[in-house]
Amino acid sequence: MNWITRERPKVDRIACPWLIRRFIDNEAIFYFVPYQQVLEKAQELQAIPFDIPEAELTHYNDRCTFDFFLEKYKLTDEALHTMAPILRGADTDDHSLTKQSAGLWAISVGLSVNIKDDYELLEKGMVLYDALYTWAKQLQGVKHLQQPTENLFLQVFNRYMRQQKERKKVPAWAQGLKEIIQDQVDTNLSLSLSEIAKGLEVHPAYVSREFAKYFDNMSYGEYIRKLRIEKALHLLQTTDHSLSEIAYLTGFSDQSHFTRIFKKFIGQSPSEYKKSLAKGKKDSKG
């Protein structure tokens, strides 16, 4: 049987001949002619026209010609119906239909540009759609990496790359906030988030919600307390200040508050930590 359609095929006009030859008419002969000549040549060659508006076998509603063939010839092969939305998405530029649609379009248009002869293009396309059919029939659950160790490595690598990407995208407000906090490290760190956000021209609620992404996965309060404890550790190690003085210098309301937070972070009270420092110095001298 003879079949005829427009010249310079890409998706539907390669997929449909593949479907015809594999499932409808294995001795099919195809002709590709300029659009204006399709109907005239169809009569002359006694060929069935397809994929032109005037033909029966063409697009309908939101479906493409491949869909029409499946319906008209009552083809129920599940693999063909898996292929149908992939082809439809590629042929209608609706790449949201399936994740494979964009790839099929890229390969199809690339073949069309590289191969100028429509009949050679059809033969190459037959190989392409044989492969897609085999995937739809047998291989949908198969992944490129099969070994558990390979999959684990890929997961770790992808996670690392996402983290690196996120780190590179530090917004201006977060960078500015880091600089402000760093400038205040030598004071008692009595910083108001709402005042800082106002100065950065960012809404305080947004800064509060997004803060942890850019500051060690901590809330604003947790991060400031961490800095205060780090400063307290430095003062305990390098000065003879009393605990009440260190509590004041690090922005705590009183020594009791300082002791409670210090123990939460370090696992021992400031006085215990100070004694361990003194003991360590004595032992090192001995």
According to the model, what pLDDT value does residue 149 have? 56
Residues facing 3 on adjacent strands: 30, 48
Residue 263 CB contacts under 8 Å (≥ 6 apart), including other chains: 269, 270
Whether 56 maps to a domain, the answer reads yes
DSSP string for 90-112:
HHTT-TTS-TTHHHHHHHHHHHH
Range in 155-169, 243-257, 270-284 with the lowest mean pLDDT: 155-169
According to the model, what pLDDT value does residue 174 have? 74
According to the model, what pLDDT value does residue 200 have? 73
- Evaluate whether 105 touches 93 at the Cβ level (below 8 Å): yes
Whether 102 maps to a domain, the answer reads yes
> Can you read off the two tokens belonging to residue 174?
């977060």
Q: Burial letters for 96-121: b for 16+ Cβ neighbours within 10 Å, e otherwise?
A: ebbebbbebbebbeebbeeeeebeeb
Whether 49 maps to a domain, the answer reads yes
| Number of separate domains in the chain | 2
Cβ-based neighbour number of residue 214 at 10 Å? 18
According to the model, what pLDDT value does residue 224 have? 80
pTM summary value: 0.53
Are 22 and 111 contained in the same domain? yes
According to the per-residue pLDDT averaged within each range, which of 14-23, 146-155, 160-169 is highest?
Answer: 14-23
Residues facing 30 on adjacent strands: 3
Of 273 and 283, the one with more pLDDT: 273
Q: Of all helices (H) and strands (E), which one includes residue 47?
A: strand 47-49
According to the model, what pLDDT value does residue 205 have? 80
Are 25 and 121 contained in the same domain? yes
Whether 202 maps to a domain, the answer reads no
Instruction: Rounding to the nearest 10 degrees, give the CA dihedral for residues 43, 47, 50, 53.
Output: 0
- Domain span including residue 36: 2-139
Q: Of all helices (H) and strands (E), which one includes residue 139?
A: none
Position 68 confidence tier, pLDDT thresholds 50, 70, 90: very high
Are 38 and 133 contained in the same domain? yes
Are 105 and 14 contained in the same domain? yes
Residue ending a domain, among 139, 161, 190, is 139
Residue ending a domain, among 112, 139, 166, is 139
Of 156 and 212, the one with more pLDDT: 212
The 10s digit of each residue's pLDDT in 194-247 is: 777 777 777 778 777 887 877 778 887 788 888 888 888 988 888 888 998 888
Are 112 and 229 contained in the same domain? no
Tokens 């033969």 correspond to: 123
Are 129 and 229 contained in the same domain? no
Are 104 and 222 contained in the same domain? no
- The sheet with strand 2-6 has its strands ordered as 29-33, 2-6, 47-49
Is residue 178 over pLDDT 60?
Answer: yes
Residue ending a domain, among 110, 139, 168, is 139
For residue 282, what is the domain's CATH number? 1.10.10.60
Whether 179 maps to a domain, the answer reads no
